[in-house]
């Protein structure tokens, strides 16, 4: 059977992002039979219906095609003002428009990292609500909240906290059977 293709999406555009670093750590933790590439969303313009109507910009077309082609999405995002980040919401808004709504029946796993102690729960619950109403299949558990992220990575973005590494390993390991279950639940 072909490997399951995962698209990683970070909700932070920051070069030194802890979320992007954690996503890259997941590349090392994927179980056999899964591969992952990481999307870029920093070149997607702000959503504007007039621009959409005139023709989707290339970065939007690329992102939508990547989401559509993926067997599953792994989204890592910080919390901004108790909710999801603007770049991530913008990318989701672009990708959610007709003709093909690319989150439909898509298996999705999410986690978050923040420098605050809680690790971004309000962001995760808002993200879950947004994706669920788009008929995405968001994996219920395990929930992974990386609080105090600034103490868990070294200056090169290497995850040094073994407990967090184990949580991420459990998340990506559990994602594989979730994708397989959702495929059975929603045959093509």
Which residues bind to ligand FMN, rule: CB under 6 A? 12, 14, 17-19, 78-82, 113-116, 118, 120, 149
- Closest contact distance (angstroms) between CB of 136 and ligand FMN is 22
Is the Cβ of residue 72 or residue 78 nearer to ligand FMN in the bound state?
Answer: 78
What are the φ/ψ torsions at residue 38 (nearest 5 degrees)? Answer: -110, 125
| Cβ atoms < 10 Å from Cβ of 38 | 17
d(CA 172, CA 116): 24
- Closest contact distance (angstroms) between CB of 22 and ligand FMN is 8
- Closest contact distance (angstroms) between CB of 161 and ligand FMN is 15
d(CA 116, CA 186): 38
Is the Cβ of residue 20 or residue 107 nearer to ligand FMN in the bound state?
Answer: 20
Residue among 153, 155, 173, 175 nearest 164 (CA): 153
Is the Cβ of residue 23 or residue 179 nearer to ligand FMN in the bound state?
Answer: 23
Which run of H or of E encompasses 51?
Answer: helix 49-54
> Which tokens is 69 given?
């082609």
Is the Cβ of residue 29 or residue 115 nearer to ligand FMN in the bound state?
Answer: 115
- Closest contact distance (angstroms) between CB of 20 and ligand FMN is 6
């Amino acid at each position: 059977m072909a490997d399951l293709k995962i698209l990683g999406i970070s909700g932070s555009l920051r070069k030194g992002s802890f979320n992007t670093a954690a996503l890259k750590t997941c590349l090392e933790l994927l179980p056999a039979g899964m591969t992952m590439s990481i999307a870029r969303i920093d070149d997607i313009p702000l959503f504007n219906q007039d621009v959409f109507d005139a023709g989707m910009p290339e970065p939007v077309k690329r992102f939508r095609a990547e989401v559509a082609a993926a067997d599953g999405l792994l989204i890592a995002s910080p919390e901004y003002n108790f909710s999801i980040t603007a770049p991530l919401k913008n990318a989701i808004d672009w990708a959610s428009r007709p003709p093909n709504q690319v989150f439909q029946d898509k298996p999705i796993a999410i986690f978050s990292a923040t420098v605050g102690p809680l690790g971004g729960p309000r962001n995760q619950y808002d993200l879950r609500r947004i994706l669920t109403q788009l008929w995405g299949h968001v994996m219920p558990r395990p929930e992974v909240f990386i609080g105090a992220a600034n103490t868990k990575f070294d200056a090169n973005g290497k995850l040094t906290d073994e407990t967090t590494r184990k949580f991420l390993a459990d998340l990506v390991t559990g994602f594989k059977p979730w994708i397989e279950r959702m495929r059975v639940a929603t045959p093509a």
